[in-house]
Chains A and B, each alone.
Chain A
Amino acid sequence: MTTDSERVEVLIDGTVLHVAANTSVAAAVLNHGGSASLPSRRSGWTPLCGMGVCWGCRLTIDGQANRRSCLIPVAAGMRIDTQPNGSEPEAP
């Protein structure tokens, strides 16, 4: 059982962040400042539906492109990378 106070270390575009365990990757990126904080300034990065339907939250997670970050909880050592808008899914 984890608690709210527990934090894990993740890398967002190479920047080390300590975020609460149990946070989804989408929520972690929004808490970090959302699209304004993304180094690529990827315009329009917006998790719209929050439940895996719209793909507006897609990010590269641990090298896998187009992951729906609203469905994925953060994990220790996770690498989160932004990617250009509109790219097609790739094989892992």
Chain B
Amino acid sequence: MSSTASEASTYDLAVIGGGPGGLAAAATAAELGARVVLVDESPALGGQIWRQNRSRVVPAAQPWLARLEAAGVELRLGTTVWQATPPGNLHTSQGPIRARQTVLACGARELLLPFPGWTLPGVHGVGGLQALVHSGLEVRGRRVVLAGSGPLLLQVAASLTSHGAQVLRVAEQAPLSRLARFSLGLGPGKTWQAVTLANPRFRASSWPLEALGTERLEAVRLQRVGGSEILPCDLLAVGFGLTPNLELPRALGCRIEEGAVAVDEHQRSSVRGVFAVGEVCGIKGAPGALVDGLCAGASAGGTTIARPLLRKRDRQRRFGRLLTRTFSLREEIRQLARSETTLCRCEQVDYASVAAHPDWTSAKLASRCGMGLCQGRICGAATQALFGWGPHGVRPPLTPVPVGALFSHDIPPPPPASRESRS
């Protein structure tokens, strides 16, 4: 490691996450004169929704990238934050970063729930498959089934089709009655309903029961109204909605409410100097994240938030709540795993070995569930959805990093436990 990388320099603002919310916050604050550093684990800016690489340019992201550059925002890409203390002491895979304020824009991950066969090669997350296609996975001619819940299913189905894949089915667990209300709630001009009705492969009240195959995926069995269907396929994309990435907010001691970082009208969290924007403070989509970012950037930059922007943010928050209501999971989704179905993929722990315990901590100690490389990011979210377990405490390193990174600077003491209300 070079000496410059390990020297701490003090910024006015550190933004963690380079998706729409993070970009908007960083640009806005920097344009107000703040010295800003933006940190992201990916090799390129854009986050998941605007994922870019050198051969994939997302038009919506370009104005923001230009503004970041013009305003002199410093970029630390390919950089993992493995611990943080308030307000902006970041410990990263590339050395420490110090800032007087932090904007958490660390986004969300997919909620992935166990069902028989979900560990077979060929089964991916919905967003996961999209990300892989954007980073070069070839899907031309491949037969794909998408199943689970949320607007991402249709979005990714359209994207896969444009990349030459043969989309056989889009199975949404939510009932048609709720989807219809959702479409109406969006108002005129929204395309969701049109997309749904135009897609002959779309089925409401349908969900994955079992992925079939020996060495890899060969078919999927789906529940549908009045029975089940088996569809031979090459790829199965599953996802049951999004869940905020709360490891860093928890490490900083931010108050969590209803499974998201609680923020006030300035996007301030409960911890002084720490803001949160986008999905991490409630799933609402990219337009909502942008508005959050503009608000946080203004607050962190020391100015007031314009009134029309506040109204826009309220609309986006309402949309977020509508999303949650529409795509809430039915009870059957929590009953898909069998006793022998793998629940913790890292440590290969089956459902029965975990379900036998009263809570997350005893399940971890007895079965090693949640103690593998992902540190419970997949199975912890799953047990929270399945059994109502959690929320879980965090301790550094938040993400496995090479041992050398830990000794590049002092390991901070763990923060006091955060007060949280159950979701």
Q: Could you tell me which A residues sit within 8 Å of B by CB distance? A: 1-4, 19-24, 26-28, 30-31, 34-36, 43-56, 58, 64, 66, 70-73, 85-86, 88-92
Q: Are B119 and A27 in contact (CB under 8 A)?
A: no
Q: How many Å lie between the Cα of A72 and that of B77 in the bound state? A: 12
Nearest A residue (CB) for B42:
A71
Nearest B residue (CB) for A26:
B132
Q: How far is the CB of A15 from chain B (nearest CB, A)?
A: 18
Given A31-B137, A36-B215, A66-B373, answer yes or no on A50-B43 (Cβ-Cβ < 8 Å).
Answer: no
Given A49-B128, A86-B372, answer yes or no on A26-B135 (Cβ-Cβ < 8 Å).
Answer: yes
Q: Are A51 and B48 in contact (CB under 8 A)?
A: yes
With a cutoff of 8 Å between Cβ atoms, the chain B residues found around residue A1 in the complex are 54
User: Is B252 engaged at the interface, CB distance under 8 Å to the other chain?
Assistant: no
Name 25 interchain pairs, CB-CB below 8 A, sorted by A. Answer: A1-B54, A2-B55, A20-B136, A22-B55, A22-B136, A27-B133, A27-B136, A31-B137, A36-B121, A36-B216, A44-B345, A46-B122, A49-B125, A49-B127, A49-B128, A50-B128, A50-B132, A52-B42, A53-B245, A54-B378, A72-B43, A86-B348, A89-B373, A89-B400, A92-B402
Q: Size class of B's contact patch?
A: 35 or more
Q: Are B378 and A48 in contact (CB under 8 A)?
A: yes
Q: Could you tell me which B residues sit within 8 Å of A by CB distance? A: 41-43, 48, 53-56, 78, 109-110, 112, 119-125, 127-133, 135-138, 215-216, 245, 345-348, 372-374, 377-378, 400-404
Q: How far is the CB of B106 from chain A (nearest CB, A)?
A: 11
Given A27-B135, A56-B345, answer yes or no on A48-B124 (Cβ-Cβ < 8 Å).
Answer: yes
Q: Are B123 and A51 in contact (CB under 8 A)?
A: no
Q: How many Å lie between the Cα of A20 and that of B55 in the bound state? A: 10
With a cutoff of 8 Å between Cβ atoms, the chain A residues found around residue B403 in the complex are 89-91
Q: Are A23 and B136 in contact (CB under 8 A)?
A: yes
